[in-house]
Structure 1
Amino acid sequence: MHPLLDGIDLVAFDLDGTLIDSVPDLALAVDAALAELGLPVAGEARVRDWVGNGSLKLMERALRHAAGVGEASHSEAPGTGRRGGGPVVGEASQESIDKALLERAHAVFLEHYGRDPGAHTRLYPGVRECLDALRARGLLLALVTNKPHAFIAPLLEGLGLADHFTLCLGGDSLPEKKPHPAPLLHVASHFGLSPERCLMVGDSRHDIAAGKAAGFLTLAVPYGYNHGEPVRESGPDGVVESLVELV
């Protein structure tokens, strides 16, 4: 058992980039929405750098890219990381995106993604073994994602994980989402646990920031979606290459 689990009663997991690689399906939906709006598509490599702050922010980044906003200041190819702490692709400019266009693009994205959100989504290696082992040891498992809550159940059911989590929170379950600590504090309160007896496991700086702000211990995986940044730079309490190392 990983040392970070000593004294832990509950483990909260992020979803996208931590348990599942959902970018293939997300990218298809993003590109379908852009195409329907008559805009240039983004491609899977770019979308991989845009995931992590919820679907509305995802489409905002896609629209910024489609409009050519801020690309000149981001010279790297998509998916290759960032230079010198520069901005995430599609966020180099503070120029506003038309609100009505964003709302329409988001609605079209949700329509496309909702048709089959798990068609090409797969578990990362070691995830099932980790979750099975933690549950067998009697630990409480929670899911805290910025993905809209409506997509959580279909994905978990399709992957055979519907019974693993006692509580699931989406990005729209509460007024605040990660990196705000509110979702994690809600999880701890729901189970009557003090935050120091809880562990947050994620792939991005948003997961680590939320965990630290909530008083959770934090564990990171380096293979997910962190906007091209090494997640170790966020200062998690631990890092594992695969979640099977947790057990």
Structure 2
Amino acid sequence: MSSGQANSERSARHPALDNIELVAFDLDGTLIDSVPDLAVAVDAALGDHGQRPVGVDKVRDWVGNGSRKLVERALAHALATAPERLEPQAVETVHARFLDHYAEKPYAQTTLYDGVRQCLSALATRSVTCVLITNKPIAFVGPILSHFELADFFALTLGGDSLDEKKPHPAPLLHAAQHTSTAPAKALMVGDSRHDIAAGKAAGFRTLAVTYGYNHGEPIAACRPDHIVTTLAELG
């Protein structure tokens, strides 16, 4: 590459990528819009236990802390009670049915956000290592990545049950940094929610948030990420 080409690439690169060797991506709400399929599974699980459906709009606000927390919020809403007042066994029972229903159709209505493939392809071309860190149970991650032909972009994939801790705890991010022999200061966490940004900051990563996705109805700017984009194509 000539010096002119190198300077041109540097000028075109988003500043979030300056001196970055590792990019960790969230999945739901960042790479894919999975809420339609999650809502179908939540409503089916509630229906199995005689409860009315909660619908896609409610589910969109509840995503982000893993599947059990999603079911807990949905069941509490259906029963018009506080989550902490639920019987743990009732949550476990409905959660088990949710997992069964979601496993049947984890990507029937799920879509890839605009700019995702462009972004991942560009990072691969630049030899930037990418990992996936999601709070979704790991059993569902592989089939979804395969469906969208994204698996080969990631050097490591962690689900919400891959380690003892999940986001917003920094452990998954620090595990990814260690696994790829990357200093946290040279890593970037990309996500759509306060949990992603909190995990990134706690791990010593730089942070980048997308303006779409699921952040419990709150503006992502309130989390004070280092960078904000409206589409991941901006990183490409």
TM-score, with structure 2 as normaliser: 0.94
- The question of 1:38 aligning with 2:27 is answered no
Is residue 130–residue 154 contact of structure 2 (8 Å, CA) maintained in 1? yes
Alpha-carbon distance between aligned partners in 2 of 1:162 and 1:11, rounded to the nearest angstrom: 15
Q: Residue deviations 1:24-50, cap 9 Å, x none?
A: 000000000000110111000100000
What does 1:66-105 correspond to in 2, within 5 Å? Answer: 66-69=78-81, 93=82, 95-105=84-94
Deviation, structure 1 residue 96: 1.8
What does 1:130-209 correspond to in 2, within 5 Å? Answer: 130-209=119-198
Gaps of at least 5 residues in structure 2 are: 1-12
Q: How many residues matched?
A: 224
Which is helix-richer, 1 or 2? 2
SS in 2 for 1:146: coil
Is residue 76–residue 83 contact of structure 2 (8 Å, CA) maintained in 1? no
84, 109, 117: which one aligns with 1:128: 117
46, 53, 60: which one aligns with 1:48: 60
Deviation, structure 1 residue 95: 4.0
SS in 2 for 1:179: coil
**Letter in structure 2 aligned against 1:42:** V
Gaps of at least 5 residues in structure 1 are: 70-92
**Percent of aligned pairs with the same residue?**
62
Alpha-carbon distance between aligned partners in 2 of 1:219 and 1:212, rounded to the nearest angstrom: 10
Alpha-carbon distance between aligned partners in 2 of 1:162 and 1:168, rounded to the nearest angstrom: 9
Match of 2:19 in 1: 7
Deviation, structure 1 residue 193: 1.1
CA RMSD of aligned residues (A): 0.8
SS in 2 for 1:189: helix
Q: Residue deviations 1:101-144, cap 9 Å, x none?
A: 10000000000000120111111011110011111110100000
Alpha-carbon distance between aligned partners in 2 of 1:221 and 1:94, rounded to the nearest angstrom: 29
Match of 1:118 in 2: 107
TM-score, with structure 1 as normaliser: 0.89
Is residue 197–residue 207 contact of structure 2 (8 Å, CA) maintained in 1? yes
Any runs of at least 4 consecutive aligned residues in structure 1 with deviations exceeding 4 A, and if so which?
none
